[in-house]
Structures are given as structure tokens and as C-alpha cells.
Amino acid sequence: MAPTPLLGARTLDRQTARTLPPGPRLPTLAQTVLFASHRKTFFPRMRERYGDVFTIRLVPSSRVVVVLSRPDHIREVFGQPPSVMHAGEGNTVLEPIMGSHSLLLLDDEDHVRMRRQLMPAFSGQALRGYAGMVAELARAEVAKWPVGKPFKLHQRMRDLTLEVILQVVFGVTDSARLDQLRPLLDKIVSVSPVIMLGGFYPALLRMPPWRTYLTTQLKVDEILYDEIARRRGNLAGRNDVLSRLLAAGNWSDVELRDQLVTLLLAGHETTATALAWAFHELARRPEELEFGQRAADAGADDELEAIVKEAMRLHPVVYQVGRRLTETADVAGYRLPRGTTIMAAMGLVHRDPQHFPVPEDFRPRRFLEDDPPAPGTWIPFGGGARRCIGAGFSLMEGTEILREALKLYNFHAPNPTPEPAKPKNVTLVPSRGAEVQVTPRCPKLPRANTRSRTWDRTRRREQQPGPEQDPRTGTPTEGWNTSRGLRTGCGGWEQDLGPGNSGWGVSAGYFLCPAPGRCV
């Protein structure tokens, strides 16, 4: 028998429609606008009114969407066989950008196979291999921050996470190639809802601005294919995601290209946004900032990770994830027909006082106590067979970046009122760009971006050459003009930024803190 097409709400018979969870009677367009622009207030109101499970209707074709807000209900969905709960088919709009092999677009066997090929590059061992590279990029970035002047940290985080994708994921380190790729990728990641329309209406792709976008993408593809070809011939000593993928799997060039673009689009804005929220909260709360700075000084990565986790709980970057039923299924006590979309609203779970006491408070220590959040209540990365493949990567990245920034600076919020979240494609971003102001933690530190001769002289006088150990690697260093990296002292903010860098290191080498331990 030929399969019947997936049902839309219009084709549901009255009996089935009556058995759906309750929901608003607003016109579909109004519900769609509320969902697209105000989900952070719309969903909590619907839950208050209709209970833990409610139905909304969205365009196109007045699609039935059942929203879940209880961890046990959501677990039912994440635990169902992926053949019953499709996620890829809801992403087909991304195909012109990510390509038909993208992990995000696949379902069933193809998804399982592709995911298996990708996994080795995201294992615990692989993540440990990337951490040093991320820390180095973070160190260079935070040294460039303007001291004493408010700036929008979200954009800085975007620049940094883009650099991480370029160098740690794509493994591009050649400076000419980096200069070539940076502006192109910057355009690719600025994919607006208008550009996404091209996925629904392919005829648009022939017109500007869609054509312009695709032309940029072709230029990126050309570079990526060239990188893949070069890398195939030379993997020795390489420790980036692309090289690990090549070493572990049997890939065609197109498959690899599609995954690289997917990792770029899935991993760049999301991680940048989570970190922007984390810094926004720390800047507003001196006690939590101090907790973070102590963790950074002590190398307490689990405490830094708890800050990232709490930021993701309070400000879920992705508020909900969707699945489409390929057959009738029992979910949350309802028999839901084939074709129904189910949304797991992580944002609702994260703000539920049953799971997180005083949920509106930013309290990283809740992840470290004897009674941490119960399994299934902290789910910023979705779950089941589709759980974010970059979850570990983004936590590692967040920890490294927090450590480098907190070791160096005090953070202040020029405007201490909380920034509201605004939707940007699938993410919820801070609406004022996470505005912060930083000042150096060490009173002896000259203002960043200022070349100070006095400081340079002082630094040379106080510099104590001689064999020492790099506290991170244990490698002996020999003082002036030797290894890069962190040194001893009050948590290791002394660092070599190399010549030409805009930080306070004005020549190659590093300096020793004249007052170790006294400034923190």
C-alpha cells in the first residue's frame, strides 16, 4: 500500500483534533508570530493557562505542534526510536546552505551512519587535544579587549568562536588563507530569515540577495575543497576536527564539506551566545564574578564549567527542539497522530522551580552541590539520538574562554538591568549585545592596547631570567624570549603576546608579575 502523506492539522478528523492537548484558539498566524518573536513569554503563558502539555498551530498549513514542558514527557520523546521521531525533515529549509549530506538534515539510517563517522572527532580524548588551541586563541582575543570602555561582548565572542571554527575545526592556520576565509565565513554565518526563505522557494535563489549569498558560499566551498584535498595527503601531526575526521572515516569530499559547513553554522553563534550570557551575568553579580575568578586562578575547571552550564540553563540559547511523528505514537498521555510536530521546550524545564529552586537566580554552584539538578532537567543540547554532537566541545570551549578572560579582568555592567533575550534565527541572544566594561585585575598591569615605555623598562628590570617551569605543561622555560604561555604568580596572567600583538606584551618574551599573589 502506498504510504499516506503526513497529516497536517487540516486533515485531522474532528475526533482526533478533540483528543489533542488543549491550546489557544488564536488564529494560526498570530500564534506563529508569538512563537517566532516572543516564545520566551508566549510558552510560559500557554503553560500557565493550559498545563504542562499544550497544542499550538503554526504556519505553514496550520501545522499541529504539541509542546512538552515536563522532563519525564520529554524523556519519552528523546527515548523513542529515531525512525518514529524525525528531526532532519524539519530542517530541509537549510539544504541550499548546508548541503544534502548535513547531519542536521538526515534521518534514519543515513543519520546514524553520518553521526557514527563524526563521533570520533568529538570524543573526550579529542576534546582534550583541542583545549590548548582554544585557550591560545582565547588568550590572544581577550588581550585585545578595550580597557575601561563599554563594549558589546557578544560580537567579540562571535569573532572568537569563528576563529575557533576556522583553526580548531577546519584546521586552517596559514595566515593568508585565514585572511581570505574570515570575511567570507562572516557573511556565511550571518544567515538571516530572508536568506532561509530560499530553502522554501528555490526560485528565489536566482535573485539577489540569495544569489550573492550563494556566490559567497561557492567561494568558501572552493577553499574548503582545496583544504580537504591538501589534508588528505598530509595528516601527520595534525590535531584539528577535519584531520581527525579524515583519519577516522571514509568520506567523500562533498560529505565532508557539508559537515564542515554544518559545524560552522551549528557551533558558532550558539557557543558565542552562551558565553555572552555568562559574561553578562558575571558582570552584574560581583559575588559570582569572584567565584569565577577564583576558579580561573585555581584551575578549577568544573567550577568554570558550572558557570557555563548555569548560563545555558537561565538563558537557553536554543529554547526548544522539534520532532515529527512518522507514525501514531503515545506521548505524554495522548495518542498523537502521524504528522504531528512535537516540541520539547527546554526553556520551560529550565525555569521550573520544581527542578531549579529560585530559577530566576544565576547560581552556578547549583551544579556543584551534593544535590545537583536531576537527570533530564538540564537539557540545553536536546537529547536522544539527535543530542547536540558539539555539546562537549562547546563546554570545553566555554571553560577555556572563561578561564582566560577571568584571570585577566574584572567585569562591570554599564547597565546592570538584565538584558532581554531576542530571537535570532534559532537562537535567543542578549538584546543589547551583552554590554560589559573590563578593567585589569592586577593594579600593576598597564592598560591594554597602550604601549608604555615605563612599563617596558620596569618589566625588564623586574624580569627574572632563569630556568622555570610552565605551570601548565611542566616544561622548563628559560626566562626572557623563550616559550610562550602562562607563568607562575597570582594565577598566571603574565603572558607573552608576541611582537605586533596589541596587548601589553610589547616585544617577544614575557614578564614576571612584580607582586605575585598580592593583587587578586
C-alpha atoms less than 13 angstroms from C-alpha of 140 in its C-beta half-sphere: 15
Given 389, 405, 408, 506, the residue binding ligand HEM (CB under 6 A): 389
Residues 134-193 that bind ligand HEM (CB under 6 A): 169
Phi, psi of 423 (to 5 degrees): -70, 135
**506 interacts with ligand HEM by CB under 6 A:** no
Say whether residue 87 binds ligand HEM (CB under 6 A): yes
What lies within 8 Å, CB to CB, of 89 at 6+ separation is 107, 324
139-147, 210-218, 387-395, 502-510 -> range binding ligand HEM (CB under 6 A): 387-395
Q: CA 309, 312, 317: angle at the middle one, nearest 5?
A: 155
Give the three-class secondary structure for 344. strand
**Interaction of residue 77 with ligand HEM, rule CB under 6 A:** no
The C-alpha cell that represents 48 in the structure block: 500557565
Residue of 470, 512, 489 lying closest to 407 (CA atoms): 489
Binding part of the chain for ligand HEM, among 150-158, 192-200, 285-293, 384-392 by CB under 6 A, reads 384-392
Interaction residues for ligand HEM, span 13-72 (CB under 6 A) = none
- Write the DSSP symbol of residue 375: T
Least Cβ distance, residue 259 to ligand HEM (angstroms):
8
115 sits near ligand HEM (criterion: CB under 6 A)? yes
Of 388, 396, 402, 438, the residue at the interface with ligand HEM (CB under 6 A) is: 388
Element (H, E) at 436: strand 435-440
Residue in 97, 140, 321, 345 binding ligand HEM, rule: CB under 6 A: 321
- Binding residue (CB under 6 A) for ligand HEM from 394, 399, 437, 495: 394
Q: Is 393 in the site for ligand HEM (CB under 6 A)?
A: yes
The three-state secondary structure class of 435 is strand
Q: Report how far residue 225's alpha carbon sits from residue 322's, in angstroms, rounded to the nearest whole number.
A: 32
Judge whether 519 is annotated as a binding position: no
Contact with ligand HEM (CB under 6 A) among 317, 343, 406, 429: 317
> Is the CA virtual torsion 29, 35, 37, 38 positive or negative?
positive
CB of 399 to ligand HEM, least distance (A): 12
For residue 424, list its beta bridge partners.
Answer: 427
Question: Closest separation between CB of residue 323 and ligand HEM, Å?
Answer: 7
Distance of alpha carbon 274 from its chain centroid, rounded? 6
Q: Kindly indicate which of the ranges 229-237, 350-358, 390-398, 453-461 contains the residues binding ligand HEM, using the contact rule CB under 6 A.
A: 390-398
- Decide: is 381 part of the binding site for ligand HEM (CB under 6 A): yes
Residues touching ligand HEM, count (CB under 6 A)? 26
Backbone phi, psi, residue 56, to 5°: -120, 170
Q: Considering the complex, state which of residue 98 and residue 513 has its C-beta at the smaller distance from ligand HEM.
A: 98
Minimum distance of ligand HEM from residue 387's CB (angstroms)? 5
Distance of CA 418 to the CA centre of its chain: 21
Beta carbon nearer to ligand HEM, 67 or 497: 67
State the burial class of residue 60 (Cβ atoms within 10 Å of its Cβ: 0-12, 13-18, 19+): exposed
Q: Which stretch binds ligand HEM (CB under 6 A): 149-157, 381-389, 412-420, 453-461?
A: 381-389
Alpha-carbon dihedral angle through residues 404, 162, 223, 95, given to the nearest 10 degrees? 140
User: Distance (Å, rounded) from C-alpha 414 to C-alpha 412?
Assistant: 6
Out of 104, 138, 245, 295, point to the residue binding ligand HEM (CB under 6 A): 104
Nearer to ligand HEM among residue 69 and residue 270 (C-beta): 270
CB-nearer residue toward ligand HEM: 405 or 497 = 405
CB of 406: closest distance to ligand HEM in angstroms?
Answer: 18
The distance of closest approach from Cβ of residue 355 to ligand HEM in the complex, given in angstroms and rounded to an integer, is 18
| Residue 380 touches ligand HEM, criterion: CB under 6 A | yes
**237-296 binders of ligand HEM (CB under 6 A):** 262-263, 266-267, 270-271, 274
Buried b (16+ CB within 10 A) or exposed e, 209-236: ebeebbebbeebbebbeebbeebeeeee
* 201 burial level (CB within 10 Å; 0-12, 13-18, 19+): exposed
Report if residue 403 touches ligand HEM, rule: CB under 6 A. Answer: no
Backbone angles phi, psi at 474, to 5 degrees: 80, 5
* 383 contacts ligand HEM (rule: CB under 6 A): yes
341 is a contact residue toward ligand HEM (CB under 6 A): no
Contacts with 495 (C-beta within 8 Å, 6 or more apart), sequence order = 139, 143, 484, 485, 486, 487, 503, 505, 510
Closest CB to ligand HEM among residues 318, 506: 318
CA angle (270 as vertex; 147, 503 as ends), nearest 5: 25
Q: How far is the CB of 216 from ligand HEM (least distance, A)?
A: 21
Nearer to ligand HEM, 390 or 505 (CB): 390
Binding site, annotated residues = 388
Binding annotation for heme = 388
Per CB under 6 A, residues contacting ligand HEM are 87, 103-104, 115, 169, 262-263, 266-267, 270-271, 274, 317-318, 321, 380-383, 386-390, 393-394
